[in-house]
Every structure is written in C-alpha cells, then in structure tokens.
Structure 1
Amino acid sequence: MTIKTIGIVAAMEQEAQAACPSGERGTLGEFESLSGTLESGIKFTCIISGIGIERAGRAAKILCAEKPDLLMSIGVSGGLAPGLSAGNLVAATTIHSDISDFKPWHENDEDALMRSEIIPLCGKDIQCGRLITTEKPVLTPQDKVLMHDRTGAIAVDMESIAVAQTAATEKIPFACVRAVSDGPEKSIPAESLAGIDKNGKTHLKPVLQAILKRPSLILELIPMGMDYSKALKGLKKILK
C-alpha cells in the first residue's frame, strides 16, 4: 500500500464521526479535527470544515500544508441519478460546478490509482461518475431532475470542488466519495437547514421552533432523518 497518510475534509461533525469513528478530537488552525490511524495502518487527519466552498477550501489548504499522500472530500450528498437511494455511495471521477472561479476537476492517473487503493469497490458496490458542487442545496425532485439532465452529474454537494481545486493546485492526489442522503425523488424541507451552524454542528432548537410554526413539518423530517441515518452508515464503510 502506497498511501500512508490521508487528509479529509468533512463538512459536518456527524459526517466526520461516521467516517472516522476512532478519531481523537483536536483542532487544526481554526477548525475542529479528528485524527488517528485506520485498521489498515493509514494515518488520517479529518477537518470538520462546516458547509460551503469557502470553509472547505480553507480547511483543504490547512491539510495540504501537512503534505498528506491523499486529500479526500467525504460526506453526504443529494442523489441526482435515477436509481440512487439513501445510503448508496458515489465516487467522483470528475467534479463540475456552476460557481464562478472554479474550473472542473478531472481525475488524472495518479488520482485514479490512489482512489482504487483507498476505495477498491468503486465501479462495483460504489457508483463512480460526475459530481457537481453547488452554492445552495438542491431541495426538490424537480430541481434534481433538471440538474441531472443539464449536467449529467449523479450527485450534488456543496464542498467538493473547492477541496479538489486546492489539491490540484498543491499537486496532491485527490479523491471524493459521498453517501447519498436523499434520492432524486425526495424533497428536503428548507426549514431543516436551520439546525446546522457554520461549523457543521447540528442544533435541535431551531428545528423545534420551525415545527411549532408548521407542525406538519415533522412528517417530512422523520423520513428525512431516517435517510440521513442510512447515509451515515454508508460513510462508515468508506475507510474500512
């Protein structure tokens, strides 16, 4: 195995804990982090960046300064391709974005070699293809269909292009693997986003306040929460 160290950017605390359950808590720069050693002997450092390209980019730069053998973007994503459902894993061979200043990332031979080493099931149990990073979440089935038809992306997230671009600039191999949290036919209530702060932590109070304003919201949140749990279980399989 050629990979000895990996740096990981995960937007949310729950995502980081799922992917790196044995990690020791600490801080790296302005961010909270988890670090440790996988069963394979690979050492990892995972930064909890918070949501969005700006924070993910800053976290990626900090990790690149540590000179890991591989930089990764790990977390949940919205499924765009027909047939994807909660808990499915997807890996990027290319990442696009509508966000200005971000050029598409395309996997090179070294990236592909590292990906196949750390994620050997890609192409079998894990669907590989184009991902897209957006500035805002894609919440409705209609918007997911439109995005899939327009871009050909199989899944969407809000951080990966920034991590990929940083890795390319620093000439560090990159891999992105995501667990689907909501399939293409599923809607995500906008109120659910109120419970996530800029540091990637979840808070119950804003969600409860939203339920008080719209009691029927709870009927949407329960299945969404079940799907998110499936996605977190999917993340636990990545670094086995």
Structure 2
Amino acid sequence: MIAIFFALSQEISSLKSQVNILKKIRHANAVFYQSEFCGFPITLVQTGIGKNVSESVQHLSKYFRIQLMVSSGFAGSVNSQVNVGDLVIGKQVLYSLQESMEGEIQIDSIFPGDTPVVDLAVKLCSNNAFKSHCGDILTVNKIIRQSVLKKHIGNQTSAIAVDMESFAIAERANAMGIPFVIIRSISDGLEDDMEIDENMVTERGNVNIPATARHLFNKPHHIPYLNRLRKQTKLATNTLSVFFPNFITQVYNSLLT
C-alpha cells in the first residue's frame, strides 16, 4: 500500500476528490482516509503541521503493510529557478537541529529518497505542463516567512525548497525499512514574504477561522498577502492533482508487487 502524507486540508484536497474513500479514521490529531485508486490500495493522511507526523506514521504501520511513504503537500522555494506551482521531487531530505536558520546552517541528518521512485517521478514529469525540479529538500521547525531568509538558506545549503514534515516521515520510513520519497509543489516563491501566523492553522491542519479573522481585523493590510497566498496554494494544489494519478498507477505497475 502507498501512504501519502499531507499536513493541511487544502493539500490533501488535491487527491481526495480523485480516490474512492472506503473508511475515515481519526487518531490523535491525524485523519486517515483508507482509499483505493483504479483498484490500487492507498491511504491519504492529514497529519497537521510539523513533527506530529511521526506518531501518525507509527499508528498507520500497525494496521497496514506500507510499501511506499510519500511526503507531499506544499513547500517554499529557496532557489531562484523554483517557482510557484512547480513540482519538487526530493533527491534527499536534509535536517538541521538549529531553531534559527540565520547565520551558518549546520546539516545534522540526511535521508535519501528511494532512487527508483525518484527516477520514475522525474520521468513522469517530462510531458506535463508544469515545471519540475529534482533536488534536496530541507525540513525546518518554523515557517520561513522572510524572503531574505529563504535566500540565505538557498545560499547556505544544497536545498531547493523547504517544508516542515518530510524529515520526520523519512526518519520513520528508514527505521522501518520502507521506501520514501518527497513530492511537493511550491506555494510560496523565493521573493515572497509570508504574512501569516502559525495559529491560523489548527493542529489537525485545517484553517483556524476565528484566529484568521482576528489576524485580519488587527492587520487589515495583510489581506492582499493572504489573497496572493490563496491563489498560489491553488496553483500548487492543481499541480499535485495533475501529477499524482499517473504516478500512483505507474508505481504500482512498475515498482510494487
């Protein structure tokens, strides 16, 4: 079975409408959608943001034989060639224990993506309308809001994009001997400052409407930034929606038994 992990409700919407959901299961802050796609078993997991994902992986592995773990959803660009709506495929995931990404960045851990799956994903992108990139992804502990900090990360590391969940998934996959890959889409570009607060998203990865309303009431000048982000996340969602159906089919037909 393929397990695809998303942090946010908007991210998982890229696939929910395209699969046949057989069962919905809640555990802690995560929601599991046991599903099938063209007859193939697949589980979609909405984990919430950050390190909550590790517990979700452990819970899922107790009940299913996972053959491939995919870390998906949105990512932020730290490379001038990687733009909003582009697909990024993780050659490897990097992680730094540093809380602050300012100054020199020390990479403490690295996990590679599964080479056959990475190669297949790259091959499948050749005929799509969207642009794709294969490179390193850096998992960070906090939202990278400032464009200047994104550029600093890009200069200091080999990463082409950043996220907040992939390392935890890769770490669990490695411990269990399960192939792993990152497939994400860019929702905020290198030049974009992120005018958002963490509490605008709930622990389960849904929009916190009261917190968002309070934020906009106190900072109405941020409305244009949120409108821009809404349009950009829609582009990123569309890219994932286009890519995944063929990817799932080809993974089962050529790599999984």
Q: Is the 8 A contact 1:118 1:239 kept in 2?
A: no
Is 1:231 aligned with 2:243? no
Counterpart of 1:74 in structure 2 is 72
Indicate which of 193, 198, 202 corresponds to 1:197: 202
Q: Give 1:29 shift.
A: 3.5
Q: Does the 8 A contact of 2:89 with 2:121 survive in 1? A: no
Amino acid at match of 1:35: Q
2:14 aligned partner, one-letter code: A
Counterpart CA distance in 2 for 1:116 and 1:38 is 22
Q: In the alignment, which of 110, 115, 120 is matched to residue 112 of structure 1? A: 115
Number of the residue aligned with 2:227? 222
Provide closer, same or farther for how the CA distance between residues 10 and 61 of structure 1 changes in structure 2, counting only shifts above 3 A. same
Query: Where does 1:78-89 land on structure 2 (aligned, <5 Å)?
Result: 78-89=76-87
Give SS of 2:150's match: helix
> More displaced, 18-27 or 205-214?
18-27
Counterpart-to-counterpart distance in 2, 1:207 and 1:150 = 33
1:139 matched residue in structure 2: 145
Offset from partner CA, 1:69-109 (integer Å, 9 cap, x none): 111111101011112222111010111011379721023xx
Query: For the structure 1 residues 169 and 78, does the alpha-carbon distance in structure 2 shift closer, same or farther, using more than 3 Å as the test?
Result: same
Give the distance between the partners of 1:171 and 1:6, measured in 2 at CA.
14
User: Among residues 57, 62, 73, which one is paired with 2:59 in the alignment?
Assistant: 62
Q: Quick check: which one's helix share is greater? A: 2
- CA deviation after TM superposition for structure 1 residue 123, in Å: 7.1
1:126 shift after superposition = 2.1
Q: Which structure 1 residue ranges, 4+ long, deviate > 3 Å from structure 2?
A: 115-120, 122-125
Partners of 1:102 and 1:121 in 2: CA distance: 32
The unaligned stretches of length 5 or more in structure 2 are 99-106, 246-257
| TM-score normalised to structure 2 length | 0.83
Contact 2:20/2:37, CA 8 A, preserved across alignment: no
Structure 1's unaligned 5+ residue stretches are: none
Residues 148 and 120 (structure 1), Cα distance of their counterparts in 2 relative to 1, 3 Å cut: same
- Contact 1:19/1:237, CA 8 A, preserved across alignment: no
Counterpart in 1 of 2:104? none
1:22-101 to structure 2, matched below 5 A, reads 22-24=19-21, 26-27=24-25, 29-30=27-28, 31-39=30-38, 41-53=39-51, 55-65=52-62, 66-99=64-97
Q: How many angstroms apart in 1 are the aligned matches of 2:124 and 2:76? A: 20
Alignment TM-score, normalising by the size of structure 1? 0.88
Report the alpha carbon displacement of residue 209 of structure 1 after superposing the two structures with TM. Answer: 1.2
CA distance in 1, matches of 2:147, 2:32: 34
Amino acid at match of 1:67: R
Residue 167 of structure 2 is aligned with which of 144, 161, 171? 161
Q: Is the 8 A contact 1:102 1:165 kept in 2?
A: no
CA drift of 1:116 comes to 3.6
**Which residue identity does 1:14 align to in structure 2?**
Q
- Going from structure 1 to structure 2, the CA distance change for 1:38 and 1:102 (only over 3 Å counts) comes to farther
Q: CA deviation at 1:32?
A: 1.2
Identity over aligned pairs, percent: 23
Distance in 2 separating the partners of 1:91 and 1:52:
19
Q: 1:10 aligns with which of 6, 9, 24?
A: 6
